[in-house]
Structure 1
Amino acid sequence: MSASLPVPPAAAPLGGPAGGPGFPSTPTAMVPGARSVVRSALRPVLRRWLRLQIEGTRHVPDDGPVLIASSHQSHADSLALGVAVRRPVHFLGDVRLTQWPLLGPLLPGLGMVPLRRGEGDAEAMAVLRGLVADGRAVAVYPEGSRSRDGRVHRLRSGLGRLAAETGVPVVPAAVAGIYDVWPIGARPRLLGGEVTVRFGPALPPPAATPRARREFNDDLQCRLAALGRTTCADDFSPFAGGAVG
């Protein structure tokens, strides 16, 4: 049996009750610098745990605002992306993940913006707009939920709207092998595994029309599947731990 780490507390399902005692009422954007002590200390540890291989980092600009649109199969996707990119990367995460033993309290220092699920998309979008306006690199999972079957599912509308509103380029990314390191509904494996992060050429933001955003999503979905060496699904990935269809 594989060695594993403790399971973090269960997150509230999207649309369910938000927060609780000790949880912040609004998200706080931690902004780790390139010399952040937490970030500097954890990057080599995580890189060894993931046995990380990285392809295409030249597509991620060294400065200025950028949206990194990634496939999503595991809670560890954000950790892999944060290690793969030289500059600090921000991502939204359920505030309850900060209660995970050992690593949880350090997540904001790695770039996680704690968000209380169930508060609605408007709050999350406001946080992302603020980070982009500040010239940050922000990782977004346009499927909206982790894939249960390894395919890239239909993309939801949030990323296309954000890119259109802000005029920020979108760099596609895929994290291959991450499911074996931290599967859905299971414990992360203490011994880690082999993970490859691949980045593709940046896409210009779509025009602010429904048709342009749909075409953008269709193109991006195909690019994510190609980077992940997988296929596209015609349905959305289910929220809150839905089973594989």
Structure 2
Amino acid sequence: MNLYSFARGLVGVIIKPLYRIEVLGKENIPKEGGVLICSNHIDNLDPPVVGVTSPRPIYFMAKAELFKAPILGPILPKINAFPVKRGVNDREALRTALKVLKDGNVLGIFPEGTRSKDGKLGKGLSGVGFFALRTECTVVPCAIIGPYKMFGKLKVVYGKPVQMDTFREEKASADIVTDKIMDSIREILEKYK
């Protein structure tokens, strides 16, 4: 058993009952091929929550500062995380993310780029549209519906894939695609809140 599987199992055993997580729409995540899971971002626990509720292992970008932390830093690469420098055009992170998708793996991304301070869905950054357009991946919107409250109830909903064919054929801009993905997340939030 690798560290990712062990950590996923351990974290799942702790947080699933703690937040009484209900998962809907797992069948919308294809069993194989590159998948881009795009989720809203309301708490620091969002990456592990998406990680333990997805039926497939997920790679996540994490802010570069975390990789310098004494205990966490050396563990992150072993649990499918890779660094991204925030506030700059980080070409290395872009290349890594594209490779994850082109190799047929799952990339989890929070298009807002940072946690929402008021719990409302913010504007998505164009990077998510860039990844969706530059690969043949399936784009799956995801909504985490909180709040995070011990023994409360947290819902994670994976929506139907966003149809990308027309956007790719028309060579749509990354911003337009990002807006479409954010609209899909918003629809899930409104439907299941």
Shift in Å at residue 89 of structure 1? 0.8
Shift in Å at residue 36 of structure 1? 2.7
Matched, 1:227 2:188: yes
Aligned residue identity for 1:74:
D
Q: Within 1, Cα distance between the matches of 2:61 and 2:53?
A: 17
Matches within 5 A, 1:106-125: 106-117=75-86, 120-125=89-94
Matched, 1:194 2:153: yes
- Does the CA-based 8 Å contact 2:33-2:105 persist in structure 1? yes
**1:121-172 superposed Cα distances (whole Å, 9 cap, x missing partner):** 3222111011112211111111222212222122221111111111212100
Show structure 2 runs of 5+ residues with no match.
none
Matched, 1:162 2:121: no
Structure 1 residues 37 and 159, CA, compared in 2 at 3 Å: closer, same or farther? same
Name whichever structure is richer in strand by fraction.
2
**1:177-199 superposed Cα distances (whole Å, 9 cap, x missing partner):** 15x35xxxxxxxxx474311011
- Does the CA-based 8 Å contact 1:144-1:156 persist in structure 2? yes
Q: TM-score, normalised by structure 1?
A: 0.66
Number of paired residues?
189
Name whichever structure is richer in helix by fraction.
2
Show structure 1 runs of 5+ residues with no match.
1-31, 182-190, 231-245
- Does the CA-based 8 Å contact 1:165-1:208 persist in structure 2? no
Matched, 1:216 2:177: yes
Counterpart of 1:55? Answer: 24
Aligned residue identity for 1:196:
K
Shift in Å at residue 34 of structure 1? 9.7
1:79 to 48, 51, 59: 48
Structure 1 residues 192 and 134, CA, compared in 2 at 3 Å: closer, same or farther? farther
Counterpart of 1:129? Answer: 98
What's the C-alpha RMSD, in Å, of the aligned pairs?
2.9
Counterpart of 1:234? Answer: none
Matched, 1:92 2:61: yes
Instruction: Kindly name which structure, 1 or 2, has the bigger radius of gyration based on alpha carbons.
Output: 1
Structure 1 residues 151 and 90, CA, compared in 2 at 3 Å: closer, same or farther? same
Structure 1 residues 93 and 176, CA, compared in 2 at 3 Å: closer, same or farther? same
Counterpart of 1:6? Answer: none
Aligned residue identity for 1:76:
L
The percent identity for this pair of structures is 28
Q: Within 1, Cα distance between the matches of 2:15 and 2:169?
A: 38
Matches within 5 A, 1:11-50: 36-50=5-19
Q: Within 2, Cα distance between the matches of 1:228 and 1:109?
A: 32
Q: TM-score, normalised by structure 2?
A: 0.81
